[in-house]
Amino acid sequence: MSVLYRKYRPESFDDVIGQENVTAALKNQVIKKRVGHAYLFTGSRGTGKTTCAKIFARAINCLSPVNGSPCGKCAVCEQLKSPNCVDIIEMDAASNNGVDEIREIREKVKYAPAVAAKKVYIIDEAHMLTAGAFNALLKTLEEPPEHVVFILATTEAHKLPATILSRCMRFDFRLIPTEKIYALIKKIYDEEHVKYEDAALRIIAKAGEGSARDALSVADRCMSAGDAVTFEAAADILGVSGWEVMSELMKNIDDGDVGAALKTLDGLIATGKNMSLIAKELAQYARDVLAVSAGGKDGVVAGEDKIAVLSEDAKRYSVPLLINVMKTFSSLDSEMRYSINPRIALECALVQSCKLLSGDYTAFAERISRLEKKLASATLVESASQAALAPSETVKSQPPRDAFAAWGKIVTYLRKNESMSVFTAAGEQSDLELNGNDLTVYASDDQTFMLLSAPEALDALSRAAHSVYADLNVKIDKRTGKVDMDSEIEKIKAIAGNAKINIKRR
């Protein structure tokens, strides 16, 4: 029995799904008999490039084309369907990519077609041709015989030389919408008398990622798994975790519960789920929640039960949280691919996402490190007779701990109630100074200063400060020059009391 994607390969342009922009133009060329000598079909795999090339090759030779498509009944159409046809030549450039193969084509194009009006050469994976082969092909494309048409199909048009591109009529094939793939699988299953669950069809269509061939390959495997295609069977074949588990992981991240998140992840890995697919699913789930939040259920292909959960999650999770999860886990695939332990990379991303939302900021540690570097330039030489500090000596400045404690609470408030940009910028600041009720934040750079000095940001900081202390004011400033060493020395003297201090300037 033939596999589905071969058995149900379209025989006319009307059967091609998701490429109306391409098929309409090709049909018009057939109807008006304005056929070019070279075409370039480019797009992702499984979108219909080779299929359309074969249909077009038969259509331009058909004796009685029907609305721009081959009739399939005339003598020429019958001849062109034969595997022994010599007028439609399909060549795989991945395995026939040398100069010799192209030179052979150059020799054969001189001869007229056997039964058709046009001899059509379909070169699949054209980007795999060598530089020498492209040069040999270029000569033929410059002065092609009237009876020859070239169709180059490729997934990577950018790898073709500009001299080749300029001589071809280009058609870009789009990714096929999931709804159209879903309808195609449903139609095929009905014709094959296969029992199925609607949720199973949706997950299969989504797994195709815009490729009808990939989706039909999965549909074929699901048919072989049992008498009926169920959601559980399809999910098991695809290795997906299910949106319920992704919803639970999102809740763990939102709560900042590292332990629960790692436990959920461990359960998924223990069942043999692909770790790269887990990261992809989590990013996709965050995207679906954001889509429901922004535009309702029209932006998501899912069943009613999932839509209901997504709607509840959309009310619960903030946009900054969803964007953070989408960015973190959608870019994790390459890191996991080259990691000696992909699980560690996935767990680190999960922990960082939880920690980001639980108020664990590393900026404070960086502040301590900078202070230590400043003090490293001063050497204290303690005199035995003057080692004791005078009891009456007191430090007038506020302890740094108070400033950091207040700022930490402010940043936590920003995370929960204000915009992500203000929260992120504030969380990176650690140069603080507290004088009475005024907390001055020295921005780390000019860009941060401009961001936090904006009226909207100042209003957010003011609300955050008043939530900590009713009379606390936050000011944004920036250092205008080098650190005032004399001022720093005076502070150190105030702390050291009567101890001798030798200062080494570097």
Q: What angle do CA 397, 402, 403 make, to 5 degrees?
A: 85
CATH code: domain of residue 257: 1.20.272.10
Assess whether 230 and 247 both reside in one domain.
Answer: no
Handedness of CA 172, 177, 180, 185 (dihedral sign): positive
Cβ 328 vs Cβ 354: under 8 Å: no
pLDDT for 390 equals 45
Is 501 inside any structural domain?
no
Q: Which domain holds residue 251?
A: 243-356
Q: Cα–Cα distance between 215 and 234 in angstroms, integer? A: 12
Is 86 inside any structural domain?
yes
Is 361 inside any structural domain?
no
Assess whether 110 and 208 both reside in one domain.
Answer: no
Cβ 42 vs Cβ 169: under 8 Å: no
Domains: count for the chain: 4
Question: Which tokens sit at 146?
Answer: 């009237």
Assess whether 34 and 145 both reside in one domain.
Answer: yes
Q: What angle do CA 392, 395, 399 make, to 5 degrees?
A: 145
Q: What is the DSSP letter of 226?
A: -
- Report CA Rg, the chain: 34
Q: Look up the pTM and report it.
A: 0.63
Q: How far apart are the first and last CA of the chain?
A: 82
CATH code: domain of residue 229: 1.10.8.60
Question: Which tokens sit at 239?
Answer: 């290795």
**Single residue among 173, 202, 221 that ends a domain in this structure:** 173
Number of other residues whose CB lies within 10 A of the CB of residue 180: 15
Assess whether 255 and 351 both reside in one domain.
Answer: yes
Is 490 inside any structural domain?
no
CATH code: domain of residue 451: 3.30.300.180
Q: Cα–Cα distance between 417 and 425 in angstroms, integer? A: 15
pLDDT for 382 equals 43
pLDDT for 151 equals 94
For 313, list phi and psi in degrees, rounded to 5.
-65, -35
Count of positions (residues) in the chain:
506
Number of other residues whose CB lies within 10 A of the CB of residue 48: 27
Question: Which tokens sit at 37?
Answer: 């000598």
Assess whether 69 and 93 both reside in one domain.
Answer: yes
Least Cα distance to 157 among 121, 176, 129 occurs for: 129
Least Cα distance to 493 among 385, 372, 396, 402 occurs for: 396
Assess whether 147 and 55 both reside in one domain.
Answer: yes
**Single residue among 238, 257, 283 that ends a domain in this structure:** 238
pLDDT for 70 equals 92
Assess whether 430 and 466 both reside in one domain.
Answer: yes
pLDDT for 12 equals 92
Q: Which residues, other chains included, contact 135 with Cβ-Cβ below 8 Å and sequence gap of 6+?
A: 99
CATH code: domain of residue 156: 3.40.50.300
Within 387-454, residue ranges assigned H as helices are: 400-417, 420-427, 446-453
Q: Cα–Cα distance between 323 and 317 in angstroms, integer? A: 10
Assess whether 448 and 465 both reside in one domain.
Answer: yes
How many Cα atoms within 13 Å fall on the side-chain side of residue 361? 23
pLDDT for 363 equals 45
Is 488 inside any structural domain?
no
Is 69 inside any structural domain?
yes
pLDDT for 302 equals 65
Q: Write out the chain's pLDDT in tens, 506 residues.
A: 568 888 889 999 999 999 999 999 999 999 998 999 999 999 999 999 999 999 999 999 999 999 999 998 888 888 888 877 888 988 888 887 788 888 888 888 888 888 888 999 999 999 998 888 888 888 888 888 889 999 999 999 999 999 999 999 999 999 999 889 999 999 999 999 999 888 889 889 988 888 999 999 999 999 888 788 888 888 888 877 777 888 889 888 888 888 898 998 998 888 888 888 889 889 988 888 888 888 766 667 666 777 788 888 888 888 888 888 898 898 888 888 888 888 998 999 888 888 665 444 444 455 555 556 555 554 444 444 444 444 444 444 444 446 878 888 888 888 888 887 788 888 888 888 888 888 888 888 887 888 888 888 888 888 988 888 888 888 888 876 544 555 555 656 655 555 555 555 54
Assess whether 30 and 118 both reside in one domain.
Answer: yes
Assess whether 256 and 219 both reside in one domain.
Answer: no
Assess whether 81 and 149 both reside in one domain.
Answer: yes
pLDDT for 48 equals 92
Is 383 inside any structural domain?
no
Assess whether 183 and 161 both reside in one domain.
Answer: no
Is 458 inside any structural domain?
yes
**Single residue among 153, 173, 193 that ends a domain in this structure:** 173
Q: Cα–Cα distance between 73 and 78 in angstroms, integer? A: 6
